[in-house]
Amino acid sequence: MIVPGITSQSRLLEVAWAIGRPKMSPAGEVIKLLTPRIAVESRARTLSATYGRGPFPLHTDTAFWPVPCRYLIFRATGDVRRPTTVLSFAELLENLGTKFRSLAEQSIWLARTRERAFYCSMTFRVGNERCWRYDSQCMFPVNNAASQVEQILGRQIPGIEETDLEWEDDIAVVMDNWKVLHGRGPMPLDEKQRILERIYVE
């Protein structure tokens, strides 16, 4: 969902409180400021450490939490030419078919960070709702089904096109982190400072 007229961090927080309860990031911030940075300046086992200032693959946030956060709220400032890529799990599963879905549902992963480690599936339930998680940086395959899923998702998959979310200075974007994967598009020519403000909401 795109929310227009969001021109400040205080307005961004109002959006967060309107849909749920903001939750602190692992570093202790409610509003996390994300900027493209080179790999050597980035925290180990993060997307930035692996991909530097380049594009990020599709993933969900907080896959390393036992129950990932429900919503992500973003606002971009500065050089907003770089898009955010988006793909729903529903579209991914529809395009990859029943065999892939079966592998995904059978897959077992070790979700691991410096602070914690636990076994999980790509799919989980909250009440009657089927939810999904995936992040190649913190989820490591344990069984054969997970290894096959990792190989498939690590390839460029014909027929699946991500949606490019084009940023403007005065919008916020709300994503359902249980249903939607997101990534980062390629770096534009002569990119200046780009700041993505992010809030986790439960």
Phi-psi region of 159 (alpha: psi -120 to 50; beta: other; left: phi over 0): left
**What secondary structure letter does DSSP report for 199?**
E
Q: What is the pLDDT of residue 139?
A: 96
Distance CA 12, CA 16 (A): 6
pLDDT in tens, 76-100: 999 999 999 999 999 999 999 999 9
Print the domain residue range for 92.
Answer: 2-201
Whether the CA torsion 6, 9, 15, 16 is positive or negative: it is positive
Q: What is the pLDDT of residue 186?
A: 92
Q: What is the pLDDT of residue 24?
A: 92
Q: What are the residue ranges in the chain where pLDDT is below 70?
A: 42, 44-45, 156-158
Specify the CATH number for the domain of residue 74: 3.60.130.10
Distance from chain centroid for Cα 60: 3
pLDDT in tens, 127-155: 999 999 999 999 999 999 999 999 999 88
How many domains does the structure of the chain reveal? Answer: 1
